[in-house]
Structure 1
Amino acid sequence: IGFIFAFVLMIAMAYYFARRPVKVYEQLMQEQQTFIQNASHEMKTPVGSLLLGTQYLDMLEQNHLSQEGKETLAQMKSETKYLQQLVNTMMLETLQTDDLKPINLSQSFDETIRTVEMVHQTTIHKLYKPDLMFAIHPLHARQLLNILLENAHHHNDEHVQVRVSAFQTMNGVQIEVSDDG
């Protein structure tokens, strides 16, 4: 009887000590989720104001802007919409992977490359077809390429030549960002 009691007591203690770190982890994850939701909620208003401001300028001042000003304003609108998507994505618990539809990666890549070219005053060589399709969330495609391009420029000198290539494979799409640095 003493052996059975000791055995049951050991199992109960093992369960208690094993469950305690899991509870702490779950609490930390919940606190992190709450923080992300609160922070993204607070960012929605300024991002919305930025987008509204760029749309206002586009609508009322379009005729008074130079070609470079129009391009810059269009880029500002595009980047503000991207920031708005990032904030909205942070507010979601998860992105639903069930409803992913193929997108034109080339168009998404072109937008991202255009932004990086403006920021770094450079030209990025595009080596991909204009109709490269793949099922991915558009925001993720843009984030992926942006991170790779920013790293290529950040870890090289200002005269680096960067190339982006992408092509279909049997398993999906292969994306390569290379530079001469």
Structure 2
Amino acid sequence: MDKRTIDQLRRRFIFIAFFSLTVAMLFISSLIYLTNNIIEKRNVRMILNYIVENEGELQGSTDQRDGEVIRDRVNSDYNVIRFLGEIFNNAGVGDDSGRYYRASYFAILYDSQGKFLRTRTNHVLLVTDAEAQAYGRQALMSKRKSGRVGVYYYKVGKTDDGGTIVVYLDRTDNLLVSARLLYLVVMIIIVGMSIAGTLTWRVSYMAIQPEIKNAENQKRFLTNASHELKTPLAVIRANTEMQEMLEGQNEWTESTMRQVERLSGLIQNLVMITRSNEHSGEHGDIEICDITKIIDESFDAFQSVILREKKQIKKEIQENVKMRAREGHIRQLCSLLVDNAIKYCDDEGEISVSLFQKGRGIMLVISNTYKEGAKVDYQRFFERFYRQDESHNNDNRSGYGIGLSIAENIVEQYRGVIRADWKEDVIYFKCMLKPLR
């Protein structure tokens, strides 16, 4: 596993961990803030209903011009509000003196004909009778039974004699508590995200260490297995060739040689897997490559095979397509996809290659006719050692399920995307590649 792959794995881990922690913090903080708002609105509704029922005069309250309060603890939310008051140092919210609501309000009364009767402003400061009447008209004109105007919540109700009463409740202190709570929630989220980002970054390497070791073990196994298999295969090949020289060829020696060739091809592909994960310069230096020429030459190398199998050829290659890349990568990618197309193309079908510039990158499309592709799971095509046509053992479709996996690895090195699609009896392999940096 090279440095680029490790960095990608770390970034993926950091993103998932950071995203999960952030969602958890947002959920908890939002729950706290929304719970406070729900409690506040319920308290406002209860107080307004109580004042309306008493037509603007609180029964059992201690009337004081400088901010009257209701000495009532019957509501089950008292402890929560008291706790919030202690957090924000707000003496007017649930303090030890038994004050529960800051009942700073004023009321405007109208008769059954809608004519103004009087105002009650003895429970509020800094609101004159004229201002109270203006607030009353505003509430009536809104045609709403309740609402909010600035720091005031209001309710329109009926009196016992059929008149109308409009009550405005001042919740300045409680809105200040909510604003402080919102500020605290935002600060908790910001600080929490900073801490979460730092922690996930520091522990990310430790978290992916098992994956790195597993990848290194796999790479070591593939390399060792390839080397260990080469010697016995060489012995089998030599012995079989000697037998053919002494006794002549027969069906048994031919069968043995075919299997030796298959195993040799498998070993070669195992070596290709190992090398495809190494971003070294063995595929050539990074330079501005003539992609048109590379694809054209790579495809032409297969023309004799394609024509021998009586398949049709179609090329749509744009002229003068260039991109910063490694020439060996592009040749290998084209060869892998064309070889796959030859294996799975229908008899007397058509194999097509298309190339065109897309921004600074390129789009390479290689397709072949494949009438049996309607029910194929194309998402699994790029899994290593996956063979869709496992039930067939003919030579035309022999393979190891490795080529497309290597092609995907090459495309990923170019920060690109490769996908397989099927439409109207044709399977398309589309590669979008971006220039190397």
Instruction: Calculate the TM-score normalised by the size of structure 2.
Output: 0.23
Between 1 and 2, higher relative CO (CA 8 Å, sep ≥ 6) is seen in: 1
TM-score by length of 1: 0.50
Q: Which has the larger radius of gyration?
A: 2
